[in-house]
Amino acid sequence: MAVKNNLNKNFTTSHAGLAIYSRLWNKFNLPHIFDSLVPKHSGANYSKIAQNLFSRNLIDANSMSALSDVDKQEYFLRKNASLNRTTYGRNLKRLNNKSRKKILTKFNNNFISHREINNDSILIYDTSPIKAEGENYENTKWVWDACEEKMIRGYALNKLLLSTKNKLAVIDFELQNKDKDKIIEMFKRGRRLYGINKIVFDAGPDLKGMDFYKKLDEEDFLFYTKAVSNWYFNYGKDYTVEGLKEIIKSRLKREGIVSLEVWKDDMLLRLIFVLNDARVYLTNDLEIPAGKVIQYYNRRWDIELSFREEKQNLGLNTLPCWNEEGIKTHILLVLLAFVLSQLIINKVGIVKGIKLIKRRIVNIYAKVKELFNRVYLIFNKSYKLWWVFSVEFG
């Protein structure tokens, strides 16, 4: 059946896109989760304020100036939350670290079922900088920006994702955390909640070091990362990574992939070499096939993608307040937006990411109407999005 084009000038195109997120916000019980942790003391319920701030990130990641008056009236609290930095900061900082962790846990309980977790589910960890220049921002530090290849003033966002076959979920996040013991505690949290002991991470400056790898091994974690190029490994005698490459050169050319068990500082490890791949993979998992190690490591792209999308399209770089607690809550809302966006992307099979959702889905002709407390949208058929309100997200 053809889907009819509709244009109702009483509704902006932004409303159509936000209605999708609003349905998901309610489906995963976020209003109750927020209100249970921050009881109403005056004005609107905190869940309404949080959803308004969440919508602010989706509508325009760079500036509030793009909002029409209708958008402001419809999606923001005219009396209880004016559109200024002071109000944002005051409301965002009402959550603390404990509350934010509870929100993530409760949301994930609704978002991911244990039947979706299997032997290929893994935890992925990485760090990305957030620029915050100026004296007004609390507790900023000099952090390394790999893209710009220089130190910048701001925050280091440490993030732990759970990756299943069809979903990405945020397990935990921290700011300015370089303590390796605390990072391992994040990993333990993921294992405690989901029973997963497989960790993928890049061999960045904060995570390389045999002391860190040994602690992971002692805690019964299996890790998958890159080998540090200037390290020595014992394979009968000590060799650099390049030295080992030279030894196995003919075998690698013949077989395409070579796995070696090596020793370093009394710890047995595996190095995996792949023909025409400059990376050398390092793991303490001695059992699984070498190709599986590479597959696990390549899923790091999920977390790289999340950082890129959050910065470019979801407002991660646009900090709406000065105080650190408020910034952390802002980050929480950005992370929730990314997770819900991935759900939409996977459902419809979009391959171009969140930018398509923001720039094209919200710019289609749409008619919104209320009927028996359900919201229906009729979309331009070229986008084939009528399913959004007729099928269940899971």
Q: Are strands 222-226 and 198-201 parallel, antiparallel or unpaired?
A: parallel
Q: Are strands 232-234 and 238-240 parallel, antiparallel or unpaired?
A: antiparallel
Return the pLDDT at 92: 87
132 and 156 in contact (C-beta within 8 Å)? Answer: no
Model pTM score: 0.82
Can you give the residue ranges of every domain in the chain?
13-97+322-389, 220-299
Return the pLDDT at 19: 65
Return the pLDDT at 63: 38
Residue 29: alpha-carbon gap to chain centroid: 20
Rounded-to-integer distance, Cα 393 and Cα 25, Å? 11
Per-residue pLDDT tens listing for the chain (394 residues): 232 333 333 333 344 456 677 778 888 999 999 999 987 766 678 888 888 888 777 765 433 444 455 554 444 444 334 456 677 778 888 899 999 999 999 999 999 988 899 999 999 999 999 999 888 899 999 988 887 788 999 999 999 999 998 889 999 999 977 788 899 999 999 999 999 999 999 877 666 789 999 999 999 999 999 998 889 999 999 999 999 999 999 999 999 999 999 999 999 999 999 999 999 999 999 999 999 999 999 999 999 989 988 888 788 888 888 899 999 999 999 999 899 888 877 765 555 555 555 544 444 333 333 333 344 444 443 434 443 433 333 3
Supply the DSSP symbol for 165. S
Neighbours of 122 (CB within 10 A): 23
377 and 367 in contact (C-beta within 8 Å)? Answer: yes
> What are the residues whose beta carbons fall under 8 Å from the beta carbon of 241, sequence distance 6 or more?
227, 228, 229, 230, 231, 233, 271, 280
Rounded-to-integer distance, Cα 379 and Cα 264, Å? 59
Torsion region of 103: left, alpha or beta (phi above 0 gives left; psi -120 to 50 gives alpha) = alpha
Return the pLDDT at 368: 37
Measuring CA to CA, which residue among 122, 151, 137 is closest to residue 292?
A: 122
Neighbours of 372 (CB within 10 A): 4
Rounded-to-integer distance, Cα 280 and Cα 227, Å? 6
Supply the DSSP symbol for 42. S
Torsion region of 209: left, alpha or beta (phi above 0 gives left; psi -120 to 50 gives alpha) = left
> What are the residues whose beta carbons fall under 8 Å from the beta carbon of 82, sequence distance 6 or more?
none
30 and 106 in contact (C-beta within 8 Å)? Answer: no
Return the pLDDT at 353: 55
Q: Residue 287 corresponds to which amino acid?
A: E
Rounded-to-integer distance, Cα 224 and Cα 329, Å? 30
Taking the CA atoms of 172, 177, 178 and 179 in sequence, report the sign of the dihedral they define.
negative
170 and 158 in contact (C-beta within 8 Å)? Answer: no
Rounded-to-integer distance, Cα 130 and Cα 82, Å? 26
Measuring CA to CA, which residue among 230, 227, 229 is closest to residue 259?
A: 227
- Crossing angle (nearest 10°) for helices 301-313 and 324-348: 110
Rounded-to-integer distance, Cα 28 and Cα 393, Å? 10
Opening angle at CA 296, ends 292 and 298, nearest 5: 115
